[in-house]
A = this chain, B = another copy of it.
């Protein structure tokens, strides 16, 4: 039986204490691959906690890929490919992946767009602009010398410290502020990464995946290959592993797949053998509506193979163009030697305003608020779809997190027909195949159910209802 000391007086909920305890036992090898865990009921009576607490902890561990449940049989430790022990023999207990499972066990979840269901939007109407304005005014009142001085290439100390604090508190990622490089958007930072790592390398991206990354690689003239997905997310073969792999492990775009722990350790080990790097693009992991936020791959990385990339554009507003990356120590040294001649691309004023927004707790509050708001929209969309006359033809996937979901439609129409007929009634949405890499074998099999990507963050609940009722008209054959 598992023996763990839980502290009912701790601020950390019991289920999270239990989840963390079991995860530690698995990562340290005390619980071995395929070992059966106690049933929920027996563990609950053993630890004198409720069955619900055990259920929540087990659920989270399943989501992250540490456990699997076998119907009618119980819970088993998953196969975690390579050892997560770091070279010093300490267990890497930091990170792990969630797996989305609203409608199926390990969904190759997808997402689409309705009425205009673009995945680009941000609900800027909900941005606490009065707070931002007031912080901006406070920053403007500081001495001119502070606002007009040049800033270090990586960003102001104030913002980097605030970001490091945010990463530690909300992403379980402990970094030195010096490792953070602030830049005017992730697109710019990807360009810097190419300069840092070199252009004689092969760059891999998920296929299907995020269009723009492929465009950036193309325009920088580096060799870019698509890496196929399976139900665990990016699935590179060791023989064909690119030197640099851009992935979205917490929440694959656009399918919503959360990469489980086993795949993560496998990719990290392959990359170590290859001497390559993973770019972990953590673009929207704050918005997870079930369980805890997914831990980062970077926190799992013991050998400096992960460049963590994130942005405030999705969290705040597209007009506030601030992203950042966290460089592992060896790359940081290389950056400082070769690339720190580049001036920081974000104005000091904006950096200081954001630093205040983060360190005074407004970002956390905003994220929590937006999470509720986006969940409401997500629910409105799911409810509208499930309550519509289309329901028998639909399957929703990837709705547990993020700002869009996938809709599989089996009404006899092709993906193209679905998109066109929706557009003819004024409903904008994209087909999943639009997210596949050009000039590469199509990763979607010919007989696959047509799949659409619906973003809901940029529109209102009323627009969602309207959009779904229009889809009913467009798609009932």
- Considering the complex, give the chain B residue whose CB is closest to the CB of A211: B341
What is the distance, in angstroms, from A7's C-beta to the closest C-beta of chain B?
A: 43
Of the candidates B129, B137, B187, B350, the one whose C-beta lies within 8 Å of that of A342 is B187
Cβ of A221: which chain B residues have Cβ within 8 Å of it?
195, 198-199, 221
A140 near B133 with CB under 8 A, answer yes
Is A347 part of the binding interface, using a Cβ–Cβ cutoff of 8 Å?
Answer: yes
B185 near A318 with CB under 8 A, answer no
Chain A facing B: main interface SS: loop
What is the distance, in angstroms, from A145's C-beta to the closest C-beta of chain B?
A: 7
User: Which of A146-154, A395-403, A411-419 lies on the face that meets chain B?
Assistant: A146-154
What is the distance, in angstroms, from A350's C-beta to the closest C-beta of chain B?
A: 5
- Considering the complex, give the chain B residue whose CB is closest to the CB of A212: B341
- Taking A124-B148, A144-B127 as contacts, is the C-beta distance between A349 and B195 under 8 angstroms? no
- Taking A188-B345, A345-B345 as contacts, is the C-beta distance between A136 and B140 under 8 angstroms? yes
- Taking A187-B343, A349-B350 as contacts, is the C-beta distance between A319 and B149 under 8 angstroms? yes
Is A317 part of the binding interface, using a Cβ–Cβ cutoff of 8 Å?
Answer: yes
Is A219 part of the binding interface, using a Cβ–Cβ cutoff of 8 Å?
Answer: yes
What is the distance, in angstroms, from A280's C-beta to the closest C-beta of chain B?
A: 21
A side interface size, CB within 8 A: 50
Is A43 part of the binding interface, using a Cβ–Cβ cutoff of 8 Å?
Answer: no
Is A348 part of the binding interface, using a Cβ–Cβ cutoff of 8 Å?
Answer: yes
Is A215 part of the binding interface, using a Cβ–Cβ cutoff of 8 Å?
Answer: yes
A319 near B349 with CB under 8 A, answer yes
Is A191 part of the binding interface, using a Cβ–Cβ cutoff of 8 Å?
Answer: yes
Cβ of A211: which chain B residues have Cβ within 8 Å of it?
341
Task: Mark A330-358 against chain B: 1 for CB-CB distance below 8 A, else 0.
Answer: 00000000110111111111100000000
Of the candidates B145, B321, B339, B348, the one whose C-beta lies within 8 Å of that of A343 is B321
Interface centre among A125, A147, A188, A319 (most CB of B within 10 A): A319
Is A25 part of the binding interface, using a Cβ–Cβ cutoff of 8 Å?
Answer: no
What is the distance, in angstroms, from A320's C-beta to the closest C-beta of chain B?
A: 6
A347 near B320 with CB under 8 A, answer yes
B212 near A195 with CB under 8 A, answer no
Of the A-B pairs whose beta carbons lie under 8 Å apart in the complex, a sample of 16, sorted by A's number, is: A120-B150, A124-B144, A124-B149, A125-B144, A133-B140, A133-B144, A136-B140, A147-B317, A188-B188, A188-B345, A212-B341, A219-B339, A221-B221, A319-B348, A321-B344, A347-B350
A interface residues, Cβ below 8 angstroms from B: 120, 124-125, 127, 129, 133, 136-137, 140-141, 144-145, 147-151, 184-185, 187-188, 191, 195, 198-199, 211-212, 215, 219-221, 313, 317-322, 338-339, 341-350
The 9 closest A-B pairs by CB, nearest first: A184-B345, A129-B144, A150-B318, A319-B348, A148-B317, A124-B148, A184-B184, A195-B219, A199-B221
